[in-house]
Amino acid sequence: MREKVLRRLYSGFLSLHILHHASEEPIYGVWIIQELRRHGYDVGAGVVYPMLHRLEQWGLLTRHDRTEEGKVRKYYETTRLGDEILASGREKVRELAGEILTEGDDTV
């Protein structure tokens, strides 16, 4: 139950993280899985690929297929709408993080 709740809570942050990297350069599924794991998120293809597809369906990502070493790799990058949503998301995260991280903190 704990893992299910945490996964649900982190879902929005993972989407913003994906948008962040896709705004910098084209990304693909395996790369973003490794990036998220580097940050301590234990996520796999069953989480990341549906998230990429959903972001694409919402018009936040666009996909370009490339053949590399005989395999088709799907690259994603943000659309204009994706960049706008990311900018709004950054603003909200900054505001919420400021409140959450200073709440009850005697050092501030």
How many residues are recorded in the chain?
108
Does any domain span residue 95? yes
Domain boundaries, position 84:
2-102
What is the number of domains present in the chain?
A: 1
Q: Among 7-11, 17-21, 45-49, 67-71, which stretch is predicted with the lowest mean pLDDT? A: 7-11
pTM recorded for the entire structure: 0.84
Give the tens place of pLDDT for each residue, 54-69: 999 999 999 999 998 8
In a domain, 108, yes or no: no
Q: Does residue 26 contact residue 76 with C-beta atoms inside 8 Å?
A: yes
For residue 24, give the CATH number of its domain.
Answer: 1.10.10.10
Long-range contacts, 75-78 (Cβ 8 Å, 24+): 75/26, 75/27, 75/28, 76/18, 76/22, 76/26, 76/27, 76/28, 76/52, 77/22, 77/23, 77/25, 77/26, 77/27, 78/19, 78/22, 78/23
- The string of pLDDT tens digits covering residues 93-103 is 999 888 888 86
